[in-house]
Amino acid sequence: MNTIYNPNPNEWGNILKRPTSTFDDVEETVKGIFKEVQQKGDQALFKYTSLFDGVTLESLEVTSEEIEQASNRISDELKQAICLAKNNIEKFHNSQKTSRLEVETTEGVLCWQEKRPIQKVGLYIPGGSAPLFSTVLMLAVPAKIAGCKEIILCTPPDKNGTINPAILFTAQLCGVNKIYKIGGIQAIAAMTLGTQSISKVYKIFGPGNQFVTIAKQYASQLGVAIDMPAGPSELLIYADETAIPSFVASDLLSQAEHGKDSQVILVTTSKKMLLEVEKEVENQLQVLPRKEIATIAIQNSKLLFVETDEEALALINEYGPEHFIICAKNEAYFVNNIENAGSIFIGNYTPESAGDYASGTNHTLPTNGYSKSYSGVNLDSFLKAMTFQKISEKGILNIGNAIEQMAEAEGLQAHKNAVTLRLNQLK
């Protein structure tokens, strides 16, 4: 890891730069695949699945037999763990339900807001070397609670043309049965444009690599909403002398093993802590099965020493981490003043892994500094807020003249007339 002492605030931008590609780097690839999917539909999906995933498929959709068989291919212990996590995630997201909000703004003018589900949503579940069945829970559970009518799930197949059984079991447990063996840019293109097999959706959810992230951003230019820009994983930990170095190192490595383009950062006011964490990272790294991946990610990562909590917090807010762990004596200061972070984990016994799996919060979070303006996935992500108003005769008399005056001042005579005609009828 790169160790930096007392970085100058003028250099924070360069120091905190993410190891990710820009849209320009892969723009032509993304647009080319989208164009081919638009023109050739399923044929293009089969082509790119063969090219990128190394498998020739006969069908894109997962069969009911495959879903049923998946349950027999995972242990009872894993099933119980998934069910526990699902229960906690349901509890947390059910608590986010809100009732109709109603107010009489003026006598006779009744306004209210109601939330309605997005009808068609697409869930992207990363596969590859780390099939994220936990992401199925994070997306399908709130989609079901919200009442989305059509839920499509896309995930890349392995070299045998199959989907990880834990993904299929979890999808079935959550009530999702439209599952397709497609990954990467082509999956996002299919859900954006629609093909012979796959319906076009109204909003796409789910994390992915840089190509998936940029494909989602391009999809948003074509009229399909996305949850947020959610690319390579990242974690920032603030740890002072009260932290436990082995715990801190384990959390850093838990994110580093996600992918070669992941980034982890330690910010500390303790030089002793910095050195101890650095040693622990090196020791724990040696025994990881995904050592090669984590090693490359660690090369993109930083150990930063600053003098004060205030300077640490300013740096953290500038970075805007996806995940933020606080292990500090002055815990309340960071909790109360953090402004930019996707999800926050507090104390020595709150590992980031808890949020990834089973505490109940959602792990689909904004990366690359987007926590400055985006929220993580929550129940409202799957809902639309619609406003209603009903005005009585008394109500239009009370606000009619104000509407007329404002419409006339803007030069919109028809707007004024729509009110004047009603007022004249009531005189």
pLDDT tens, 123-166? 999 987 778 999 999 999 999 999 999 999 999 999 999 999 99
Is 233 annotated in a binding site? The answer is yes
Is 415 annotated in a binding site? The answer is yes
**Contact call for residues 166 and 133 (beta carbons, < 8 A):** yes
Phi, psi torsion values for 243, nearest 5 degrees? -75, 165
pLDDT, average across residues 34-50? 97
Q: Which residue has the tokens 């980031």?
A: 352
pLDDT, average across residues 392-396? 98
pLDDT on residue 42: 97
Look at domain 23-104+114-229 and name its CATH class: alpha beta
1 has a pLDDT exceeding 90: no
pLDDT, average across residues 257-283? 95
pLDDT band per the 50, 70, 90 thresholds, residue 21: low
pLDDT, average across residues 279-290? 96
Is 323 annotated in a binding site? The answer is yes
Q: Which of the residues 257, 323, 352, 363 is marked catalytic?
A: 323
24 has a pLDDT exceeding 80: no
Distance of alpha carbon 45 from alpha carbon 194, whole angstroms: 11
Q: For this structure, is 58 an active site residue?
A: no
pLDDT, average across residues 189-204? 98
Distance of alpha carbon 166 from alpha carbon 82, whole angstroms: 9
Cβ atoms within 10 Å of 197's Cβ, excluding its own: 15
Is 262 annotated in a binding site? The answer is no
26 has a pLDDT exceeding 90: no
pLDDT, average across residues 210-235? 92
18 has a pLDDT exceeding 90: no
pLDDT band per the 50, 70, 90 thresholds, residue 426: very high
Is 255 annotated in a binding site? The answer is yes
Distance of alpha carbon 68 from alpha carbon 255, whole angstroms: 32
pLDDT, average across residues 289-303? 93
pLDDT, average across residues 317-336? 98
370 has a pLDDT exceeding 70: yes
Is 261 annotated in a binding site? The answer is no
Is 186 annotated in a binding site? The answer is yes
**Contact call for residues 328 and 273 (beta carbons, < 8 A):** no
Provide CATH 3.40.50.1980 ranges for the chain.
2-20+232-360, 23-104+114-229
Is 5 annotated in a binding site? The answer is no
The interaxial angle of helices 271-285 and 291-299, nearest 10 deg, is 150
pLDDT on residue 117: 98
Q: Which of the residues 257, 276, 322, 352 is marked catalytic?
A: 322
Q: What is the DSSP letter of 227?
A: S
pLDDT on residue 131: 84
Is 10 annotated in a binding site? The answer is no
Q: Which residue has the tokens 């406003």?
A: 387
Looking only at the bridges linking them, the beta strands covering 109-117 and 383-391 are: antiparallel
pLDDT band per the 50, 70, 90 thresholds, residue 23: low
pLDDT on residue 53: 92
Q: Half-sphere exposure of residue 111, counting CA atoms within 13 Å on the CB side?
A: 9
pLDDT on residue 124: 97
Q: Which CATH number fits domain 2-20+232-360: 3.40.50.300, 3.40.50.1980, 3.30.565.10, 3.30.70.141?
A: 3.40.50.1980
Q: For this structure, is 276 an active site residue?
A: no
How distant, in Å, are the alpha carbons of 69, 215, 257, 300, 396 from that of 22? 41, 12, 22, 16, 53
Is 124 annotated in a binding site? The answer is yes
Q: Choose among 279, 115, 134: nearest CA to 206.
A: 134
pLDDT on residue 357: 97
pLDDT on residue 65: 95
Distance of alpha carbon 75 from alpha carbon 58, whole angstroms: 29
Distance of alpha carbon 424 from alpha carbon 416, whole angstroms: 12
Q: In this prediction, what percent of the chain has a pLDDT beyond 90?
A: 91
Note the pLDDT tens digit of each residue in 60-79.
999 999 999 999 999 999 99
